[in-house]
């Protein structure tokens, strides 16, 4: 039996879902793989819990209950107020740890790089470290000790399909077309069904599909980061600024509070209704699409054929269609759950196991 130390940045919804999956899988992973996953460090934005001998499941349960009650890790018996991630990742006596980043911050990059330089491993659901400069992307991914499946498509094996089924088989990828936002999938399929833009955005906010400020989803930058990660995985030296991004709200609504924004968006109902009608008249439907081809990437609202892979997509599902030398004219298509913490946590755990089973 090998013990794999885990160090995790982030203890929000996704972070707690990862902890639960690790705990639930303990017995099966012990007999199936001969490994025991053991948390030695965990942190949120201000607090941390560190125990080189392993944080007990009981303490993990109590820490999760505290977070769900609105308290931080620093307010739990095992927690303290931390001053930086480097202190958390450098756990005395621990070797071969897997560092898990489920934050939404680019401030984790120095700690991730330190960990990789110390021959640790890393798993990311956080897109921002891989969407910085191309130099930073290459530095983080050069060692092949980092996995990042959950950065694109939550638990769907999009990165694995690209790296292992296509790139590794020397199948030239000519085009990738995908829908990588459950929130925007909910919006566009609702528009297709005749609902208003403003009602859909407000409903998505109420249901927790959007970020606290819906503009974080509607602006398209989250999808652009995912497109950038796919492009860089293929070896394209793109920067985020080179991706064409269409926002689903005008610049004049960028200022003000989220409440101000939700109050003002009824003015957008008619323009979106007109775009839907125009697409339907041409036998098409609207989808928020990321398209990568010939070294360039664009993300935006597109009119697509109703019977195309992205046109058939419904609700919050994500989809990636790979058009390659082998998969032509019909693409290789991956489709599945694209929203919710459990799908992302599943992708993170799969990457943890992949690294745990590598030759150390």
Q: What is the pLDDT of residues 119-138, one digit of tens each?
A: 999 999 999 999 999 999 99
Please tell me the predicted confidence (pLDDT) of residue 93.
Answer: 85
- Write out the DSSP string of 158-183: HHHIIIIIIITTT--EEEEEEE--HH
- Considering the four listed CATH numbers 3.40.50.720, 3.40.50.880, 3.40.50.10490, 3.10.180.10, the one that applies to the domain covering 2-154+342-356 is 3.40.50.720
What angle separates helix 13-24 from helix 341-356, to the nearest 10 degrees? 50
The Cα angle at residue 43 between residues 53 and 74, in degrees rounded to 5: 95
Q: Where in the chain is the domain with CATH 3.30.360.10?
A: 164-338
Pairing of strands 332-336, 318-324: antiparallel
Active site residue 127: no
Reported as a pLDDT band with limits 50, 70 and 90, residue 360 is low
pLDDT in tens, 189-202: 999 999 999 999 99
Superfamily of domain 164-338: Dihydrodipicolinate Reductase; domain 2 (3.30.360.10)
Reported as a pLDDT band with limits 50, 70 and 90, residue 87 is confident
Return left, alpha or beta for 220; rule: phi > 0 is left, psi -120 to 50 is alpha, else beta. left
Residue 170's alpha-carbon distances to 166, 174, 322, 325, in angstroms, are 6, 12, 14, 9
Quote the distance between the C-alpha of residue 263 and its chain's center: 29
CB atoms within 10 A of CB 144: 9
| HEC assignment per residue over 227-240 | HHHHHHHCCCCCCH
Query: Are 110 and 85 contacting, i.e. CB atoms less than 8 angstroms apart?
Result: yes
- pTM of the shown model: 0.94
Return left, alpha or beta for 93; rule: phi > 0 is left, psi -120 to 50 is alpha, else beta. left
Pairing of strands 296-305, 244-245: parallel
Peptide bond into 329 cis (omega under 30): yes
pLDDT in tens, 200-257: 999 998 887 888 899 999 999 999 999 999 999 999 999 999 999 999 999 999 999 9
Token pair for 310: 């992205």
Q: Max alpha carbon distance in the chain (Å)? A: 66
Return contacts of 103-111, CB within 8 angstroms, 24+ apart. Answer: 103/9, 103/10, 104/128, 106/132, 108/9, 109/136, 109/140, 110/85, 110/86, 111/9, 111/84, 111/85, 111/86
């Amino acid at each position: 039996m090998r013990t794999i130390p885990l160090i995790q940045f982030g203890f929000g919804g996704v972070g707690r879902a990862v902890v639960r999956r690790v705990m639930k899988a303990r017995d099966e992973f012990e007999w199936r793989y001969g490994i025991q996953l053991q948390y030695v460090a965990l942190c949120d934005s201000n607090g941390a819990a560190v125990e080189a001998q392993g944080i007990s499941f009981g303490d993990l349960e109590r820490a999760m209950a505290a977070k769900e009650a609105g308290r931080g890790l620093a307010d739990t018996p095992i927690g303290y107020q931390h001053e930086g991630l480097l202190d958390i990742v450098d756990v005395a006596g621990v070797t071969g740890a897997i560092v898990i980043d489920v934050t939404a911050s680019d401030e984790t990059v120095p700690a991730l790089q330190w960990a990789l330089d110390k021959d640790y491993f890393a798993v990311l659901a956080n897109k921002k470290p891989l969407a910085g400069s191309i130099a930073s992307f290459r530095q983080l991914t050069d060692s092949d000790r980092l996995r990042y499946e959950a950065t694109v498509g939550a638990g769907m094996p999009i990165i694995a399909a690209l790296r292992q089924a296509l790139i590794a088989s020397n199948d030239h990828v000519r085009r990738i077309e995908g829908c990588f936002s459950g929130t925007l999938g909910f919006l566009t399929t609702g528009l297709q069904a005749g609902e208003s833009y403003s009602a859909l955005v407000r409903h998505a906010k109420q249901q927790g599909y959007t970020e606290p400020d819906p503009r974080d989803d509607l602006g398209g930058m989250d999808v652009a980061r995912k497109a950038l990660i796919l492009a860089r995985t293929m070896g394209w030296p793109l920067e985020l600024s080179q991706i064409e991004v269409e926002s689903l709200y005008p610049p004049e609504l960028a200022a003000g509070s989220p409440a101000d924004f939700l109050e003002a968006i009824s003015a957008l109902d008619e323009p979106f209704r007109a775009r839907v009608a125009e697409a339907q008249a041409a036998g098409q439907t609207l989808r928020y699409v990321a398209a990568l081809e010939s070294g360039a990437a664009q993300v935006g609202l597109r009119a697509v054929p109703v019977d195309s892979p992205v046109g058939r997509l419904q609700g919050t599902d994500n989809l990636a269609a790979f058009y390659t030398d082998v998969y032509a004219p019909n693409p290789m298509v991956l489709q599945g759950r694209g929203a919710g913490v459990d799908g992302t946590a599943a992708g993170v755990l799969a990457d943890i196991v992949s690294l745990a089973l590598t030759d150390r």
